[in-house]
Amino acid sequence: MKKLPKQLISLKVNGYEYEVAVRPNRTLLEVLREDLRLTGTKEGCDDGSCGTCTVLLEGVPLRACLCLAVAVQGKEVTTIEGLAEGDQLHPIQRAFVDHGAIQCGYCSPGMILTAKALLDTTPAPTEQDIKLAISGNFCRCTGYNKIVRAIKIASQNAAGGK
């Protein structure tokens, strides 16, 4: 099997600039997990259907398993590792932890980032807005009830200035 030559690319992830040499057929997911060792972004399906690999590209949810690393040069990528500030959980993370929205936790990074993208554009979402936003992120543990509730609570807390 002939391997494609590597290219040196610059990736902006969570505010840091990384220079990495990657083959052009490598996905953003592979580079995040294997080269940058940012393993908070999960792999669940290999075909874009499960949502566990969701990251934000310029604030918009993106399936990292369907995107080539070379295609996102110069754009701002946010992974779950970039959300909390030090030990201070992001309000959405806090709500997930406090309101039982996490069980096995494998969907949580993708789910939380999807929720962040939603609340950034729609600060006061309806229940249907929330369900629609996370409908591409599977969760097998929770039945979604507590996730939807946690996102709602996070939005209310933000509105209340908490």
Partner 1 sequence: MENLLYVGKSVPRKDGPLKATGRAQYTVDLSLPGMLVGKVLRSPYPHARILSIDTSKANKLPGVKAVVTAADSLQIKHGFVETPRYPADQYPLAVDTVRHVGEDVAGVAAIDEDTAEEALSLIKVEYEPLPAVFDPEEAMKPEAPEIHPNHPKANEPYRNIGGKTETGWGDLEKAFNESYLIREDKYTCQMRAHGYLEPQATVAHFDYSGKLNVWTSSMGVFIKRAKLAKTLGLPYGQVRVLKTYVGGAFGGKIDLFHHEYISALLSMKCHLPVKIVYSREEVFKAARHGQPLIVQIKTGVAKDGAILGQEIRTINDSGAYHGSGVVVIFLAWGFAMAPYRVPNMKYEGYSIYTNNLVRAPQRGHGAPKMRFAAESQFDMIAEELGIDPIEFRLRNARKPGELLPNGDSVKNFGLIECITRVDHRTDFKNKYTAAIRERTTDSKIKRGIGIGTTAYFGGSLIYPNSSSVIVKLNDDASVSLMTGAQDIGQGCETVLCQIAAEELGVPVDEVQVYAADTETTPVDIGSWISGLTYVTGNATKKAAAQAMKKLLVVAAEELKAEVKDLATHHKEIFVNHSPDRRISYAQAIAASIAKNRGDSVIGEGHFRTMKDEPTHPSLATAKGRWTENYSSYATVAEVEVDTETGLVKILKATTAHDCGFPLNPTLVEGQIDGQVSMGQGHMLTEELRVEKGCVINPSFLEYKMPCALDMVETDYIDVITEKYQKDHHYHTKEVGEGYVSGTVAAVANAVYNATGVRLKRTPFSPNRVLDGLEQIQQKERNHDGKNA
Site residues for partner 1 per CB under 8 A: 1, 3, 33, 37-47, 49-50, 52, 79-81, 83-84, 89, 93, 96-100, 102-109, 112, 130-132, 134-148
User: If you write DSSP's letter for every residue of 28-92 in order, what string do you get?
Assistant: HHHIIIIIS--TTS--S-SSSSS-TTEEEETTEEEEGGGSBGGGGTTSEEE-GGGTSBTTB--HH
β-pairing verdict for 76-78 and 7-13: parallel
User: If you write DSSP's letter for every residue of 97-158 in order, what string do you get?
Assistant: HHTT--SS-SSHHHHHHHHHHHHHH-SS--HHHHHHHTTTS--SSSTTHHHHHHHHHHHHHH
The least CB distance from residue 99 to partner 1, in Å, is 8
The least CB distance from residue 105 to partner 1, in Å, is 3
Closer residue to partner 1, CB minimum distance, 74 or 136: 136
Closer residue to partner 1, CB minimum distance, 73 or 127: 127
Closer residue to partner 1, CB minimum distance, 137 or 155: 137
Q: Look-up: residue for tokens 């494609």?
A: 4
For the chain, the distance separating the N- and C-terminal CA atoms, rounded to the nearest angstrom, is: 55
The least CB distance from residue 121 to partner 1, in Å, is 18
The least CB distance from residue 75 to partner 1, in Å, is 20
Closer residue to partner 1, CB minimum distance, 4 or 73: 4
The least CB distance from residue 67 to partner 1, in Å, is 18
Task: Write out the two tokens for 116.
Answer: 């962040």
Closer residue to partner 1, CB minimum distance, 9 or 51: 51
